[in-house]
Amino acid sequence: MTDSAANSAANSNVQRDAQQRELGKFLQAHRERTPGLLREEVAQLSGLGLAWYTWLEQGRVPVSPQVVEAVARTLRLDDGARRHVLALAGLHVPPVARRHLHDRLRGTARLLQPVLDSWATSPALLLDHRFDITGWNDAYAALWTDPALVDDRRRNLIYLMITSRLLSSTLNDWESVTKAMLAQFRNHADRNPRDDRTDERTREIFALLEADKPELRHWWESRTAHEFTSRTVTVSTATVGDIRLVLSSLRPMDDPDSTILLQTPVSQPDRDRIRQLLELPARWVGNDRSRGFYDQ
């Protein structure tokens, strides 16, 4: 074994041991939240030996999915805690049931809308795990046109970034930004497979792109996947001039399937130009805002 391979194996063992210890602490903490619940009872109700369960709480033994499920039932862990235990144990975490996922995404959109609205001069979007747009603020609608004006099937950031003619002519470095966002989309989708109906949505997005922008097929067929990194871009408008924005993506801790795409003005003049856009009537930049940047 080479030194590099040996170091990699050693690091892997260290990480596994650390996760096992965290798993043990997590289980112990949940057991102790129920006054009077002893290790002996948890072991017995879970079908485990007392010594083995004691080692489990001490982070000294690996566990199987069956053991995790048995202990989770005994400790009455909710779905989030059960999935966390599976992750700490280094086991496969099954996808969230579609009904629960839909409810959670709706809840996230409702809870985070005031957050989006608080960024008065920073255009912001809330995206789900397939980059469908589930929330936005007035600053975003003023700069890029209200997403409510596009039909539900096409209300997807990847689709809009690739197909919008006006966006491609207004956003400097449109190609590199769009390809980077597409790579993020691929990365998120490939690492978080969902049930068949949700994967149908991914296929539908690519089918819409194939129908409406076939000349760029090589973009989404490249299979490039990596995390989107923050960057500064310039948007050229005909009414208020250039606006410099820092693009960054944020992941809500309580719903990692969602993403906030925040566009923060670089300077005070950039913030002032966003305010000017917010004050414009419905017709602006020579375009009818009822169509705006959306070509479909």
Asked if 45 and 162 sit in the same domain, the reply is: no
Number of domains the chain contains: 2
Asked if 129 and 69 sit in the same domain, the reply is: no
Does some domain include residue 93? no
End-to-end alpha carbon distance in the chain: 58
Of 266 and 238, more confident:
266
Does some domain include residue 186? yes
Please say which residue of 51, 67, 88 terminates a domain.
Answer: 88
pLDDT in tens, 268-280: 999 999 999 999 8
Does some domain include residue 203? yes
Please determine, for residue 100, whether its predicted confidence score (pLDDT) is greater than 70.
Answer: no
CATH number, residue 11: 1.10.260.40
Asked if 58 and 198 sit in the same domain, the reply is: no
**Domain of 175?**
99-288
Asked if 48 and 113 sit in the same domain, the reply is: no
Task: Please name the residue ranges forming H helices in 192-252.
Answer: 196-212, 217-220
Asked if 242 and 142 sit in the same domain, the reply is: yes
Asked if 130 and 222 sit in the same domain, the reply is: yes
Does some domain include residue 294? no
Rounded-to-integer distance, Cα 270 and Cα 240, Å: 10
pTM of full prediction above 0.85: no
Asked if 23 and 156 sit in the same domain, the reply is: no
Asked if 195 and 111 sit in the same domain, the reply is: yes
The 8-class DSSP code of residue 171 comes to: B
What per-residue confidence (pLDDT) applies to 87? 85
Environment class of residue 177 by beta-carbon count within 10 Å: exposed (0-12), middle (13-18) or buried (19+)?
Answer: middle
Please say which residue of 52, 68, 88 terminates a domain.
Answer: 88
What per-residue confidence (pLDDT) applies to 238? 86
What per-residue confidence (pLDDT) applies to 207? 94
Ramachandran area for residue 96 (φ above 0: left; ψ -120 to 50: alpha; else beta): beta
Rounded-to-integer distance, Cα 274 and Cα 265, Å: 8
Please say which residue of 88, 119, 136 terminates a domain.
Answer: 88
Does some domain include residue 58? yes
